[in-house]
Amino acid sequence: MSALMSTYSPLPVSFTHGRGAELFDAQGRAFLDGLSGIAVTNLGHGHPRVTAAVSEQAAALLHCSNIYHIDLQEQVGETLTRRAAMETVFFSNSGAEANEAAIKLARLHGHQKGIERPQVVVLEGAFHGRTMAALSATGNRKIQAGFGPLLSGFLRAPRNDLRALEALSQGHDDIAAVMLEPVQGESGIHPLDLDYLKAVASLCAKNGYLLIFDEVQSGNGRTGSYFYYQQIGIAPDVVTTAKALGNGVPIGACLARGDAAHTFAPGHHGSTYGGNPLACAAAGAVLETLAEDQLQERAEPLGRIIQESFTAALKHKDAVADYRRAGLMIGIELKQDCAELVRLALDAGLLINVTAARTIRLLPPLVMSDAQGRQLGETLAAVVDRWLDQNPVETM
């Protein structure tokens, strides 16, 4: 029996090493990575620049408390804020912690405006993390079940429903911020409607609400620009990121601009490991690689290759209810629950994920070749076809 707490249901495979878009088990079998550790290894496995940066930093200095200046943290912070068109950054260890920082920032912003009990508007279908404030902000009752009482201070609105958001605004004078994922990942890859996002930004500007974008999954080049908001012409006040920021080394960040950039003062927030030298060495290498190799430009064409290869090869085309994509965030929603596909794909040498019960989620690394993209689409189509031969689409 494992000594690990039963918080996961791991698949029957373990990997010894990785290279580019492939992982290898102890027997040397290769698996094509269509998931990137859930949007973490955007630069693929064993990237030489990241490996060298981490190795050199580990030999020099692993950790330094934030009660001292950390030069590398300053350098990465400057690069990241410039890339994001933000002014300041707080480094954490994960996306959930980055979102916790954003929520605290929003509440403090509200208090500084004289709001006694500030509220943050969040959306149904959102996933902001599993720590208590992030869990309370998450719009998934299944994930929240059993962990009550959740934190108060959140108002919930349906996704893409501007009237509902306007009704909340008209009924509450205690709103401090609106927090959303511009591309919802966990709920099945749902890019929010562009007109809706623009209207939300306008509503926030009109009422003095902070607009917070959670780009923990969609950031770091995954959708075709460094952050998704940079391709839709909307500038949030606060943005959070993590996952691929360190390409596997844990690091998250909460970035802010305008009034939000100067809300925190010493003592308001902190993190023992956040932005330590090792994590910043990895993030610095990732930022340099994306800038020099322009890998974010791979997201759209590679995503299209995977989509077209899958669609062309799939025989059971009627089984697909919807196909949603933002760069290399790909959601293929089937007409019936399909969690079994994860295990069947593994048997075929392909790593995928199923979320929201019936949506195949693909998040391959940006370094995947065109040939590997076609292989991913065609292999997945064969797996889905074999499964559907045994499990015909349920009819109402």
- Say if residue 324 carries a ligand binding annotation: no
- Say if residue 130 carries a ligand binding annotation: yes
In contact, 107 and 175? CB cutoff 8 Å: no
Bridge-based pairing of strands 359-362 and 329-334 is antiparallel
Q: Which of 31, 90, 127, 227 is catalytic?
A: 127
SS (H, E, C) 240-295: EECHHHCCCCCCEEEEECHHHHHCCCCCCCCCCCCCCHHHHHHHHHHHHHHHHHCH
Establish whether 243 is a catalytic residue: yes
- Say if residue 215 carries a ligand binding annotation: yes
- Say if residue 216 carries a ligand binding annotation: yes
From residue 68, how far is each of 60, 71, 357 by CA, in Å?
A: 16, 9, 47
Map residue 143 onto helix, strand or coil.
Answer: helix
Type of residue at 228 = Y
- What are the counts of helices (DSSP H) followed by strands (DSSP E) for the chain? 12, 17
Type of residue at 68 = Y
Q: Which of 31, 91, 154, 243 is catalytic?
A: 243
Say which DSSP state 45 is in.
Answer: B
- Say if residue 271 carries a ligand binding annotation: yes
Question: What whole-number distance in Å separates Cα of residue 226 and Cα of residue 218?
Answer: 9
- Say if residue 219 carries a ligand binding annotation: no
Structure tokens at 383: 């797996």
Establish whether 147 is a catalytic residue: no
Say which DSSP state 94 is in.
Answer: S
Phi and psi of 178, rounded to 5°? -115, 125
Establish whether 317 is a catalytic residue: no
In contact, 219 and 241? CB cutoff 8 Å: yes
Longest dimension (CA), the chain: 64
In contact, 321 and 391? CB cutoff 8 Å: no
Cβ-Cβ contacts under 8 Å for 387 (sequence gap 6 or more): 338, 340, 341, 344
- Say if residue 214 carries a ligand binding annotation: yes
Q: Which of 33, 91, 154, 214 is catalytic?
A: 214
Structure tokens at 194: 């562009």
Render 311-366 in DSSP notation, one character per residue: HHH-S-GGGEEEEEEETTEEEEEESS--THHHHHHHHTTEE-EEETTTEEEE---T
- Say if residue 367 carries a ligand binding annotation: no
Question: What whole-number distance in Å separates Cα of residue 200 and Cα of residue 120?
Answer: 13
Which residue positions form the known binding site?
A: 95-96, 127, 130, 214-217, 271-272
Active site residues: 127, 214, 243
Which residue positions form the known binding site for pyridoxal 5'-phosphate?
A: 95-96, 127, 214-217, 272
Which residue positions form the known binding site for N(2)-acetyl-L-ornithine?
A: 130, 271
